[in-house]
Amino acid sequence: QIRFHSCAVVGGIQATDTSHPRNSAIRHLTKNLLQKYHKEVRPVHNWSEATTVYLDLFVHAVLDVDAQNQKLKTSIWYREVWDDEFLYWNTSMFDDIREISLPLSAIWAPDIIINEFVDIERSPDLPYVYVNSSGTVRNTKPIQVVSACSLETYAFPFDIQNCSLTFNSILHTVEDIDLAFLRSREDIKHDKKAFLNDSEWELLSVPSTYNILQNSAGDFAQIQFNVVIRRRPLVYVVSLLIPSIFLMLVDLGSFYLPPNCRARIVFKTGVLVGYTVFRVNMSDEVPRSAASTPLIEIFFTVCMAFLVLSLSKSILLIKFLHDERCSGQERPLLCLRGDTDADGTRMDPKAQLAGNTESPICQEHQAQSGTLKEVWSQLRSISDYVQAQEQADQREIEWLALLYRFDRLLFRSYIIMLGLYTITLCSLWALWSSW
């Protein structure tokens, strides 16, 4: 065991021995570079010269689009490159080392931040940067940015979002730190190689601008990248739009039933329940924001309003028809009652006659004129009743005609609304696909 141990130790020493010269060169170089380095000094010989920081950005993934809180979460790969005039060496003096990595904490670094960030950026704390022999420092890091963005949900699910990421130095003015693009702006704009394709969002482009922000503290250089993304709508079309259109078509089909049919109410109620269940199910699929309501939400509400309107119309119609039927049943009864009354009155004098055999003739005359009067009044009351009934019937018929007209109007509005819905969706889709 001891022999094995000593062997291992010897082996270890030998291994360090073989790589000893290079190892010492790199240590020597690092020591050399950092010995007289002051990281608190901006690395320029001439202080009036600005340090130019070159920025580059790859959008890697869109992690979350939160319309309710107006936040966008993206994963980006960010690179900054600058020249450090104090970090350079003669490669032939250091074993041809062209690049070494140095701890970021040991050298000067620009204080560039993203203006829109609203949450702690989660980026792995990478401790090293690369420096080459002419003093160019490269710092690359992946960042998860949660940025504030004004998200428009109006055209959901055919929406395009435009969120900006603005980089600038938090403290240094443009006289000290200037910004520039590492690649050409066209390259940055159309670079989608790093983007993960199979998410809900599709990267359209990353246009960028350089400008100088002037405020009371001075002029600041800033670079703005606009991340333009568009939603893939297929899943929403299949799960949201098509079912809603089907429900509307079913509802439209109910106009095919005669308007005075009671089954229509049952049918409409069924559709209304179906619609409610559908909306409750879909409520978390539709993004909500206080600023803008999605157009399809408005459409759902309008559809519901139409459903309720036509349902109440059907109920009204059935009520009128029911009234009519009731009065239709009552009428013969009344007539019958009238007949029995008339019979009774007619029988009465006869009974009187039968009862009073010794009655005088004038009495009979009186009785006869009494019955005539009674008949007359009965006839009048009947004719009054019939007239009133006719008037009521007339009014009912007018009401019914009005309701039937309303039914037709509603049907036309349904058609118009469905047409508008379809046209709007198609134009939104056309706008979406024209990007």
Binding-site ranges for ligand NAG (CB under 6 A) = 90, 92-93, 98, 132-134, 136, 162, 164, 192-193, 195-197, 226, 228
Residue 120, helix vs strand vs coil? coil
d(CA 37, CA 89): 13
Minimum CB–partner distance for residue 192 and ligand NAG (Å) = 5
Whose tokens are 């003739």? That residue is 361
Minimum CB–partner distance for residue 137 and ligand NAG (Å) = 9
Minimum CB–partner distance for residue 311 and ligand NAG (Å) = 44
SS3 content of the chain, % helix, strand, coil (to 5): 50, 25, 25
Would you call 257 exposed, middle or buried from its count of C-beta atoms within 10 A (0-12, 13-18, 19+)? middle
Residue 399, helix vs strand vs coil? helix
Longest dimension (CA), the chain: 162
What is the full DSSP assignment across 248-285?
HHHHHHGGGS-TT-THHHHHHHHHHHHHHHHHHHHTTT
Amino acid at 64: D
d(CA 145, CA 122): 7
d(CA 192, CA 206): 9
Minimum CB–partner distance for residue 24 and ligand NAG (Å) = 17
d(CA 132, CA 298): 59
Q: Please, what sign has the CA dihedral across residues 32, 37, 42, 48?
A: negative
What is the full DSSP assignment across 161-227?
EEEEEEEEESS--TTTEEEEESS-HHHHHH--TTS-TTSSEEEEE--EEEEEEEETTEEEEEEEEEE
Using alpha carbons, list the distances in angstroms from residue 64 to 28, 144, 408, 432.
47, 11, 47, 20
Minimum CB–partner distance for residue 98 and ligand NAG (Å) = 6
